[in-house]
Amino acid sequence: MIRIWSWGALIIGMIYFILPLVGMTEFSLSMRRGEYSFDAYAVVLSDSQFQATFSYSVIMALFTIVFGVLLVVPTAYWVRLRMPELRPYVEFITLLPLVIPAIVVVFGYIRLYNTSSWLPMTGTALGTNILLMFGYATLSLPYMYRAVDTGLRAVDVGTLTEAAQSLGASWVTILARIILPNVLAAVLSGAFLTFAIVMGEFTMAALLDRPAFGPYMQLLGANRAYEPSALAVIAFAITWACMGLIQLVTRFTKHTRAQT
């Protein structure tokens, strides 16, 4: 009896999830009348705008990841090692991006860092890119921090640090050679999630007027019929790949831990 209800709930739920995925896939293949084809994909992929915005977002994602790692790993490490009393405050701050809508944050950026302000970041393309990258970094902060902090919990930070110090290692060496490799799986999980977030992000890029993948998708969606579905399939594949990589990384490290 219970089992029948369970199957019912699960199957109805899965139908809801599968139909849009089928719908977008089917639509993306229907550009040519009467038969399935990859025409929509061909059009999208050969679009110079697509190539430009896609690579822009990939590069932004990579910079965001590097920046996020450099910001979060030392901070999380330092909090665990020397400032445990700050933990609740740091955790609260890292969760703020879930509370404050991204549109509000970017609204603040536009007013605070415009050309007539004390820090005119939006004055140049480079400045705006950096500002957008900072915006992405705040968006991914909750996930990045939580992933790294969980990773650090699994290793004995204090003992590792003291052992490295007794062998004469500097702080940079300790972080780069001891701490980072030990939380690599966690860092990679955070990195892939950040990648997925940045690739799909729309609001910040659109309002800062940068040529990112999200605004491009929206623009195409307003003007074309089949290409948006192809884009949706591509975006879904990226999300899926990122999540798959997270799973893979976690599983891989579990194996190496079991062996040692």
Partner 1 sequence: MAGMTSLRRFAPLRWLGMVPFFAFTFLFLILPTLYIVFGAFRTPQGAFTFDNILALNTPSIRSAYWVSIKVSFMSALLGCLIGFAMAAAVTVGRLPRGVRNPLVTFSGVASNFAGVPLAFAFIATIGPAGLITAYLRTEWGINLRLLGFNLLSTKGLILTYLFFQIPLMILIITPALDGLKREWREAAAILGASGFQYWRSVALPILFPSILGTLALLFANAFGAVATAIALTGPSLNIAPILLYAQIRGDVLGSPNLGYALAFGMIVITGLANTVYIWLRARSERWLK
Q: Which span (14-22, 41-49, 58-66, 177-185) binds partner 1, by CB under 8 A? A: 14-22
Which one, 151 or 197, has the nearer CB to partner 1? 197
Which one, 184 or 218, has the nearer CB to partner 1? 218
160 is written with which tokens? 């590792």
**How far from chain centre, in Å, is Cα 160?**
29
For residue 217, give every residue at least 6 positions away whose Cβ sits within 8 Å of its Cβ, in sequence order, or none: 202, 228, 231, 235
Q: Is 247 in the site for partner 1 (CB under 8 A)?
A: yes
Instruction: Report the alpha-carbon distance of residue 4 to residue 99 in Å, rounded.
Output: 39
Which one, 42 or 96, has the nearer CB to partner 1? 96
Which one, 127 or 221, has the nearer CB to partner 1? 221
Q: Which span (52-60, 81-89, 179-187, 248-256) binds partner 1, by CB under 8 A? A: 81-89
Between CA 16 and CA 26, with CA 20 as vertex, the angle to 5 degrees is 140
Which one, 2 or 258, has the nearer CB to partner 1? 2
Q: Hey, which residues between 33 and 72 contact partner 1 (CB under 8 A)? A: 71-72
The only residue of 105, 186, 191, 198 in contact with partner 1, by rule CB under 8 A = 105
Q: How many Cβ atoms from other residues are within 10 Å of residue 84's Cβ?
A: 9
Tell me the residue length of the chain: 260
Burial level of 257, CB count in 10 A (0-12/13-18/19+)? exposed
Which one, 223 or 260, has the nearer CB to partner 1? 223
Q: Is 138 in the site for partner 1 (CB under 8 A)?
A: yes
Q: Which span (43-51, 54-62, 179-187, 243-251) binds partner 1, by CB under 8 A? A: 243-251
Task: Report the b/e string of 165-196 with b at 16+ CB within 10 A.
Answer: eeeebeeeebbeebbbebbebbbbbbbbbbbb
CB distance 195 to 61 below 8 Å? yes
Q: Hey, which residues between 220 and 239 contact partner 1 (CB under 8 A)? A: 221-222, 225, 228-229, 231-232, 235-236, 239
User: Helices (H), strands (E): how many in the chain?
Assistant: 13, 0
Q: Is 101 in the site for partner 1 (CB under 8 A)?
A: yes
**How far from chain centre, in Å, is Cα 51?**
20
Q: Is 10 in the site for partner 1 (CB under 8 A)?
A: yes
Q: Hey, which residues between 188 and 207 contact partner 1 (CB under 8 A)? A: 193, 196-197, 200-203, 206-207
Instruction: Report the alpha-carbon distance of residue 236 to residue 231 in Å, rounded.
Output: 8
Residue reference for tokens 């690579």:
55
- x/- letters, 151..180, toward partner 1 (CB under 8 A): ----------xx--xx--------------
